[in-house]
Amino acid sequence: MVTGGQSKGIKMEDLKMALKRAFATTYAFLVKAENFHWNVTGPDFLQYHELFGKIYDEVDDELDDFAERVRAMRCYVPASFSQLSEHSAIADTLEVLPKNEMLRTLYVDNGKVHVELLAAYALAEQYAEHGLSAFLSERIDEHRKHGWMLYSSMQP
């Protein structure tokens, strides 16, 4: 027989896994944005170099706080390459893409970050982890902004 406390502990594992997944997906997004920032080419190089740089700077600024919030849940942060790969919803990009494909890829991957953050947010709210859900809400808003900038940059 499972008591209420044990049941809540089991359910909190869902939140911890969602946080790991959201963190790893965010980290993969950061790495990809940085990759594109470094490797974009073309006559409008500076425009895209700055866009990708702005995105990865913003995500990087919040990543340490995100990791600390994961740790505050008594959960280890996925930080090795294999752990990040295991938990991330974002696939690695092994080749240098043309800038239009970089935009599209980062836009799609930003949507994956958004989905993972929303899932973690819903669980944080469910378990009355309101400080965590407030942080996740801010991350969701920032990724909505990244999505808007990437989408707008893809338009003719």
- pLDDT in the model for residue 30: 98
Question: What tens digit of pLDDT does each residue of 109-148 get?
Answer: 999 999 999 999 999 999 999 999 999 999 999 999 999 9
Rounded (to 5) percent helix, strand, coil in the chain: 80, 0, 20
| Cα 81 to Cα 155: distance, rounded to the nearest angstrom | 34
Mean pLDDT of 72-87: 94
For 9-58, the pLDDT digits (tens) are 557 899 999 999 999 999 999 999 999 999 999 999 999 999 999 999 99
Q: Which domains does the chain have, with CATH numbers?
A: 4-88+95-154 (1.20.1260.10)
Q: What is the pTM of this model?
A: 0.92
How close are the terminal C-alpha atoms of the chain, in Å?
Answer: 61
